[in-house]
Amino acid sequence: MPPESTALNLAVAEPALGPLPRHVAIIMDGNGRWAAKRGLPRLEGHRRGVEAVRRTVRAAIGLGIEHLTVYGFSAENWRRPADEVADLFGLLKRFIRVDLAQLHANNVRVSVIGDRPALAEDIRLLLDEAEEITCRNSGLNLVVAFNYGGRQEIVQAVRRLARQVRAGELDPEAIDMGTIAAALDTRGIPDPDLVIRTSGEMRVSNFLPWQTAYSEFVFLPDLWPDFDEDTFRQAIDQFRGRDRRFGGRSAKAL
């Protein structure tokens, strides 16, 4: 028998986790189904969804995430019944009025992307106020995608560049990926490292199609109102356990 000190150690080491994502984007899906499963009105599902947003923001701050983008209202959501759209807008107003001071106190910067000119004036003013009050904060950048559509964003970017070309301010041959990225609503914000979608659906629903070209995706069965810090951490750990190649060789194989 070999001495005890030389016995083989058969324990399997846990794989090392990679760095945290700088930017997490979330498609918050399942509010209506959450309410329907409980025999509640859809508005109650949306209310509980706002609570999940609050939990997620707190978790992101605690983890040290730099950017968190939430898909609040898509350009396609206008197809929903008018009373549900009105409820969603009412929840947005309430969220900003109730939570803005707390976000500001926690050094959160609020940024809004999407077709703001198409919104009612009172909504535009609230969004402007949220950005203005928090613009100097240096903590988490909370990006709210509201009245947002990814294809529409790209169309608007192309139009901006076309106007610059027509005015003689831009050489068409000088247009590259950086030029296009700078014309998008997300200019100055790094692309998402991780995209999370809840509710078991496995599609991107016109959410940041340009920016997510090399993002990692985690699709969760949880309905959005049930999303909490533990679920968030588990999704992030999935991301940290992956080998990101960006079209090149595996870093683990080097």
* Residue 206 is among the residues annotated as catalytic for this protein: no
In a domain, 170, yes or no: no
List the catalytic residue out of 77, 106, 137, 206: 77
Given a contact cutoff of 8 angstroms between Cβ atoms, the answer to whether 153 and 189 are in contact is no
Kindly report the CATH number assigned to the domain that includes residue 230: 3.40.1180.10
What is the full DSSP assignment across 172-195? Answer: GGG--HHHHHHHSTTTTSPPPSEE
In a domain, 173, yes or no: no
Whose tokens are 């009612």? That residue is 120
In a domain, 175, yes or no: no
List the catalytic residue out of 9, 29, 137, 191: 29
pLDDT of residue 253: 44
In a domain, 65, yes or no: yes
pLDDT of residue 16: 78
- The residue segments making up the domain with residue 72 are 19-149+192-238
pLDDT of residue 8: 47
Q: How many domains in the chain?
A: 1
pLDDT of residue 199: 97
In a domain, 110, yes or no: yes
In a domain, 47, yes or no: yes
Q: Would you state the torsion angle of the CA atoms of residues 101, 188, 143, 61, taken in this order, to the nearest 10 degrees?
A: -70
Q: Is 33 annotated as a binding residue?
A: yes
One-letter amino acid at 14 equals E
Burial status of residue 217 (CB atoms within 10 A of its CB: 0-12, 13-18, 19 or more): middle
In a domain, 28, yes or no: yes
Residue 192, strand partner residues: none
Average pLDDT for 149-161? 98
Q: Is 136 annotated as a binding residue?
A: no
In a domain, 90, yes or no: yes
Long-range contact pairs involving 199-205 (C-beta distance under 8 Å, separation at least 24): 199/29, 199/30, 199/33, 199/223, 199/224, 200/30, 201/29, 204/27, 204/150, 205/27, 205/29, 205/71, 205/74, 205/76
Q: Which stretch, 111-125, 150-164, 239-253, has highest mean pLDDT?
A: 150-164
Average pLDDT for 37-45? 96
Nearest to 75 by CA among 158, 156, 146, 160: 146
* Residue 77 is among the residues annotated as catalytic for this protein: yes
Nearest-5° angle of CA 146, CA 150, CA 155? 115
Q: Is 210 annotated as a binding residue?
A: no
Q: Is 23 annotated as a binding residue?
A: no
Residue 243 has pLDDT above 80, yes or no: yes
